[in-house]
Amino acid sequence: MPNPYISGTGFFLPPRVVTNDDLSKYMDTTDEWIQERTGIKERCYVDAGVGSSDLAIPATEQALKAADLQVGDIDFIIFATSTPDFYAPGSGCLLQDKMGFNEIGALDIRVQCSGFLYGLSIAEQYIKTGVFENILLIGAEVQSTAMDLTDEGRDTAVIFGDGAGTAIISATEEDRGILSTHMHSEGKYLKELWLESPASNAGHPRITSEDLDKGKQYLKMNGREVFRHAVTRFPEVINECLEKNNLTTDDIDLLIPHQANLRITQMVQKRLGLKDDQIFSNIHKYGNTTAATIPIALSEAVNAGKISNGDIVVFAAFGSGFTWASAAIKW
């Protein structure tokens, strides 16, 4: 049975950098206030007319080059995003057309911050069963257009940014690759982090002028509840992953968590007893890019030489749903 491994990675951030001081022009906030609560200094926003599939193009080009593959070598596309270009068709289909892939399958998945790891689990099964040899997995988001840039939306708006990260999952006979993936959900907490409208259960039309007046089109978050659950679920799912593979925290060469909030990452690090060089963080530069945070961070870590052959790399995510997930890889 072939082993699924990551043969190439790439990432892309839109060139427009939005600092905390920039946001203070729209809402009652300061650089100090944002950094103290989130660890974020800046994030990137797209310009008008740019969608998630557009961000995925340069990230995919990087991953193909790193894997020494061509567009025609990709067998399947998995596109994780909570901000598709359109409600229909999916962003994976748009990317297939824009980059000239063969008439291969393109699957969009929407699991918000856990999307990349859910996609990794899907790719793992397809490779292990011999269905495909090279799968393109994307996490891409345009969150800036769902932000309420007023005092009312401040607690959420300061956190999120736009970006894309990609990984190519390939088959190998070598003793390396994905060791296991783990996924969970608990839907009773949906309103703690959600975007209420447009919605199919809202009647016709799916969004009304009244909905817009109430700000239902903006992402809403109960930050305290998200934090409380995240700092519990992150260690749980990481330990689940370690136990499955007879590993301990000492075996982790690098933990790449979803970049939700620096305070969450610090709490998780403390609870697991990890050293500073065992954990990767770049949230100060990019904010929370939802499904894109892990592949962006992974690509940066690879480019910086922080991952070597044989290293144990662990991923973990928690987000809207609630959903949470983890994965372990022998690099």
Q: Are residues 227 and 164 in the same domain?
A: no
Determine the pLDDT at residue 223: 85
Q: Are residues 194 and 65 in the same domain?
A: no
SS3 state of residue 224: helix
Per-residue pLDDT tens over the stretch 165-205: 999 999 999 999 999 999 999 999 999 988 888 888 887 88
Compute CA 103 distance to the chain's CA centroid, rounded to the nearest angstrom.
Answer: 26
Q: Are residues 118 and 186 in the same domain?
A: no
Q: How far apart are CA 315 and CA 309, in angstroms?
A: 17
Please give the DSSP secondary-structure letter assigned to residue 36.
H
Residue 70's contacts (CB-CB under 8 Å, 6 or more residues apart) are: 64
**Cα distances (Å, whole numbers) of residue 320 to 74, 212, 324, 325:** 30, 22, 9, 12
Say which CATH number the domain at 205 has: 3.40.47.10
Q: Are residues 52 and 166 in the same domain?
A: yes
The pLDDT of residue 59 is above 90: yes
Q: Are residues 82 and 158 in the same domain?
A: yes
Q: Given the residues 3, 20, 134, 288, select the one marked as catalytic.
A: 288
Domain tally for the chain? Answer: 2
**Cα distances (Å, whole numbers) of residue 21 to 28, 149, 153:** 11, 13, 16
Q: Given the residues 3, 134, 182, 258, select the one marked as catalytic.
A: 258
The pLDDT of residue 206 is above 90: no
The pLDDT of residue 277 is above 90: yes
**pLDDT > 90 in the chain, percent:** 87
Q: Are residues 241 and 324 in the same domain?
A: yes
Determine the pLDDT at residue 201: 81
pLDDT band at 95 (very low <50, low <70, confident <90, very high): very high
The neighbouring-strand residues paired with 12 are 164
| Domain-terminating residue out of 150, 173, 196 | 173
Q: Report residue 108 as tokens.
A: 């969009």
SS3 state of residue 189: helix
Annotation marks residue 113 as catalytic? yes
Q: What average pLDDT does the segment 203-217 reach?
A: 85
The neighbouring-strand residues paired with 319 are 323
Which range of residues forms the domain containing residue 32? 3-173
Per-residue pLDDT tens over the stretch 101-122: 999 999 999 999 999 999 999 9
Q: Are residues 17 and 62 in the same domain?
A: yes
The pLDDT of residue 214 is above 90: no
Determine the pLDDT at residue 289: 98
Determine the pLDDT at residue 204: 82
The pLDDT of residue 153 is above 90: no
pLDDT band at 14 (very low <50, low <70, confident <90, very high): very high
Determine the pLDDT at residue 205: 86
Q: Given the residues 113, 182, 229, 261, select the one marked as catalytic.
A: 113
Q: Are residues 130 and 193 in the same domain?
A: no
pLDDT band at 219 (very low <50, low <70, confident <90, very high): confident
Give the strands of the sheet with 105-109, arranged side by side. Answer: 3-12, 163-172, 134-141, 76-80, 105-109
Burial environment of residue 233 by CB neighbours within 10 A (0 to 12, 13 to 18, 19 or more): buried
**Ramachandran region of residue 273, left (φ > 0), alpha (ψ -120 to 50) or beta?**
left
Determine the pLDDT at residue 209: 86
Q: What average pLDDT does the segment 33-43 reach?
A: 96
Q: Are residues 85 and 135 in the same domain?
A: yes
Annotation marks residue 258 as catalytic? yes
| Domain-terminating residue out of 173, 201, 225 | 173
Q: What average pLDDT does the segment 246-273 reach?
A: 97
Residue 10 · residue 69 · CB < 8 Å: no
- Alpha carbons within 13 A on the beta-carbon side of 302: 22
Residue 34's contacts (CB-CB under 8 Å, 6 or more residues apart) are: 20, 23, 40, 41, 158
Tell me which of 5-14, 63-72, 108-117, 205-214 is least confident.
Answer: 205-214
Q: Are residues 186 and 326 in the same domain?
A: yes
Q: Are residues 185 and 165 in the same domain?
A: no
Determine the pLDDT at residue 186: 97
Q: Report residue 57 as tokens.
A: 């193009």
The pLDDT of residue 132 is above 90: yes
Q: Are residues 275 and 199 in the same domain?
A: yes
- Strands 254-257 and 312-319, sheet pairing: parallel
Dihedral sign for Cα atoms in the order 236, 242, 247, 252? negative
